[in-house]
DNA sequence: CAATCATATCATTATTTAGTGATATAATAA
DNA sequence: TTATTATATCACTAAATAATGATATGATTG
């Protein structure tokens, strides 16, 4: 059997991608593409509820996709690494070509989830 | 409210990333990094069950991440686009730096899922 | 110190999704 | 035609995860 890679590495990589694989987290990451934002700013920008944003930020922070900088009672978040933005951009470009297929894929919910 | 992007685009992008966000699908994508493989080859390489592989391939195919070429009773699959491989590589590199955080992130299961 | 503001935590619920086993389809071989 | 091989489909179950509401923590202001 042509074993492809060690399972732990696969599990880690899947976890990394899962950071990007949810519309709410993506909305948060998009909101950070232009620089640091406080939690309140992100709540405003995304329309998600505050606890929901905090939960997702916790996930993104634990996974190292964003970093937090407390300043007084605010906490500013930003993308942790240039490559996070690169991944987002590459996905944008890929999506431009495969969007139709993705859209028509019925295996996962196509829900709009436009609000919290 | 600084609306970040249209919700449909976010949902599509999330769906795209979900293709990468599962250890089994990643194992399949990894198996295709070196070129086309039949379903049987992929089953061998990943150790996943045949119906499971077919299900995931269906998902990846619908989403445009892989393409299928039937040849007799075999069906060969390959990565559909150079950028799929680029995304995998970028994730590899990012993971090299943030792996510790991802590993320690307890919000999602860290299960090894080494076999089917 | 009391009030307020910004963020985090947590248990619960509802929804999604992965995997399995049984079976269908389709191509080739005997 | 019958058997065999390769792949796909599908209903079902079990597990994982997102969102919510209530509440806690911690900083600042009066």
Asked whether strand D has any atom less than 7 Å from the CB of A116, the reply is yes
DSSP assignment letter at B107 = S
Whole-angstrom distance, CA of residue A42 vs CA of residue A23: 14
Q: Residue A21 and residue B23: Cβ atoms within 8 Å? A: no
Predicted confidence pLDDT, tens digits, chain A (116 residues): 434 457 678 888 998 999 999 999 999 999 999 999 999 999 999 999 999 999 999 989 988 899 999 999 999 999 999 999 999 999 999 988 875 555 555 555 443 333 32
Per-residue flag: A111 CB under 7 A of strand C:
yes
C-alpha to C-alpha distance for A64 and A40, rounded to whole angstroms: 21
> CA–CA separation, A62 vs B79, rounded Å?
31
Nearest residue of B to residue A93, measured between CA atoms: B83
Q: Which two tokens stand for residue A81?
A: 């690494």
Please enumerate in sequence order all residues whose Cβ is within 8 A of that of B97, keeping only pairs 6 or more positions apart, or say none: A64, A81
Domains and CATH numbers, chain A: 20-104 (1.10.10.10)
DSSP codes, B42-86: HHHHH---HHHHHHHHHHHHHTTSEEEEEETTEEEEEES-HHHHH
ipTM value for the complex:
0.85
């Amino acid at each position: 059997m042509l074993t492809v890679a060690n399972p732990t590495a696969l599990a880690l990589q899947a976890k990394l991608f899962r950071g990007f694989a949810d519309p709410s987290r993506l909305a948060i990451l998009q909101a950070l593409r232009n620089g640091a934002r406080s939690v309140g700013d992100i709540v405003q920008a995304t329309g998600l509820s505050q606890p929901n944003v905090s939960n997702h930020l916790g996930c993104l922070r634990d996974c190292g996709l964003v970093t937090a900088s407390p300043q007084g009672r605010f906490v500013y978040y930003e993308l942790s690494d240039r490559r996070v933005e690169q991944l987002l951009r590459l996905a944008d470009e890929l999506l431009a070509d495969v969007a139709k297929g993705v859209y028509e894929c019925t295996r996962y919910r196509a829900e709009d989830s436009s609000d919290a």
